[in-house]
Every structure is written in structure tokens, then in C-alpha cells.
Amino acid sequence: MSNNIDKKLLFFDIDGTLVGFDGKMRESTMKALKMARQNGHEIFIASGRSYGQIYPFLLDFGFDGIICAAGAFVEYNGKEIFRDTFGNRRMKFLMNFFMDNQTNFYIQTKDFSVLPKSQLYSFVKTMRPGLESDNEKEMEENLKKILGDLVLDDDIKNYYKKYDVAETIVYYDCPYSINEMRRMMGPMGMKVTRSSFTKPSDYMGELTLLGLNKSNGIKTICDYLHMDIKDTICFGDGPNDIDMLDAAGYSVCMGNGDSAAKERADLIADDIENDGIYKAMDKLGLI
């Protein structure tokens, strides 16, 4: 790709791509994003996170659009253009499954997350190691700084009535492997992906609605803007980015990314901590 290329739609995963696992975005990344917009390109977030879990500094940065919950929510210039949720029936099935199989989990909705209070410590230990504390209130407050609005609720049997607007569910410490979960969840219209929050584990995953993924969100944006998906460039690093890397007109995987994602990318960038985004966008003639 050369300099002064035609307008492109640029889609970026958050964790491990835009933002390091320290929760910070490099100055070089911010510079590259601003330069790309100045050159006429549009920039989008494409994340497995729910809207309420996106870092406030990213929302304030000025992205043209956002894809959340792996495609369950799509927004352009502040306007919601697509949304889908788990609904009552699936939630009832899942809550019974988790209770029967002593599987820990937490729920992501557009505006808040839900975690059984009894699982607070195990969640922090698994998903956010280093934040563990004997002071439960301190641990809760530290977690809210990362996850945003958080509801702690042990009334799991009634989750299906309270939180049927769930868009994504992350589970862990499950007795079933990813492939076994896929066989059980598929008939209920759900997709199982290895979790991108920590190092991959065969007994930890993300549940989303079958047929929804980041690539669907990208297609929704393209249709809305009457643009060809060939004019998209996607940047990712993890297993839940593979579908958008496959669908994009051009795909970039971070050097710190998952080996499977690297195999599907047109370009492997440098690591996030080595100015990978800036270097890749420069090489592609976007800045």
C-alpha cells in the first residue's frame, strides 16, 4: 500500500492492540490515530468489551464509531445502528448450567457488568491478578476502575429476569473444554471463543450470540456508510479478532498477538510496546 491512499475504515481491537495490558495507550498510537483522521480515514473501536467497559479516555478520544460485545452493539457518530442481546430463554439456560456445573462467570451488558459477589475474589485472581486484597471493598473499587459500572449480585437463579440484556458472558473454571462447550451451547444459538482477557485456557471462554462477531459489526458499518469492505483495515491480536482479520480488506496482527491470529493476517506489526500501531500505519501509507 502506498501513501495518499483512498479513504479507509480502520478498525482496532482494544486489549493488546490499542491499549497495553497496563491499561494505557502509547503516545505514538494516539499520534497515528490523529494523523489517520487528518488524512481522511475513519477510525473505529472493534472490541469484545461491552460499551460500559471501554476506557473513558478512548471514548473521549474521538473515534468515528464503536463495535462492542463482539458485534452485539454497533454505533456510528454516537448513534446506535445495531444491538442484540441474549434474552430471557438463553439466560435461564446458562444460569442453570453455571450453577449445576459450579462454573464462575461474569456478564457484560451495554451499560454495566454483573458479577456474583461470592465470586469476586476468584474473578480478580483469575482475570486481574495483582488486584487481590483481603479488603473486599478495596478490591471491588479497584475492579470498578477497570470494568466501569459493576453490579455484585448473588441472586443467580433470577439473573434471567434481571439481566436478559446481556451481550457477552465470560466464564472460567469450567469443567468442560472449549470444544465441549461449543457442542452444548451451539443448539442454544451461542458461540464459544477462547477468552482474550488472560492467557488462553481450554476451560475459560467468552459466550456471544451465534452469528454475531466483529466482522458482522464491520459489515454493518460498511453497509451504513455505503462503503465496500475491501476498504477496511483491521488491527487485532487475539482469538476473537480472527473473524475480522479474515473479513477485512487488509489485516494487521500485533507482534504480541496470538499465533493463530498472526497466521490469518496480511501484516504482522511490531509489539504494542514497540510502537507497533504507529509503525504499521506508517508502512501502510495511512499516516
Q: What percent of the chain has pLDDT over 70?
A: 97
* Domain assignment of residue 76, yes or no: yes
Nearest to 182 by CA among 208, 215, 216, 214: 208
What's the pLDDT at 1? Answer: 42
Number of domains, the chain: 2
Q: What is the CATH number of the domain that holds 79?
A: 3.40.50.1000
The residues near 96 (Cβ < 8 Å, ≥ 6 apart) are none
Distances (CA, A) of 59 to 63, 66, 89, 146, 233: 7, 9, 32, 14, 20
Q: Is residue 3 part of a domain?
A: no
Residues 121 and 172 in one domain: yes
184, 135: one domain: yes
One domain, residues 96 and 113: yes
Instruction: Kindly state the cell numbers that stand for 269.
Output: 506489526
The reply to whether the predicted model has a pTM over 0.75 is: yes
Is 4 within a domain? no
Same domain membership, residue 172 and residue 146: yes
Query: Do 201 and 94 share a domain, yes or no?
Result: yes
In this model, does residue 269 exceed pLDDT 50? yes
Domain ranges, residue 192: 87-209
CA torsion, ordered 167, 199, 57, 255, to nearest 10 deg = -120
The residue out of 180, 209, 238 marking a domain boundary is: 209
Which of these three, 209, 226, 251, is where a domain ends? 209
pLDDT tens-digit series, residues 46-81: 998 889 888 889 999 999 999 998 899 999 999 999
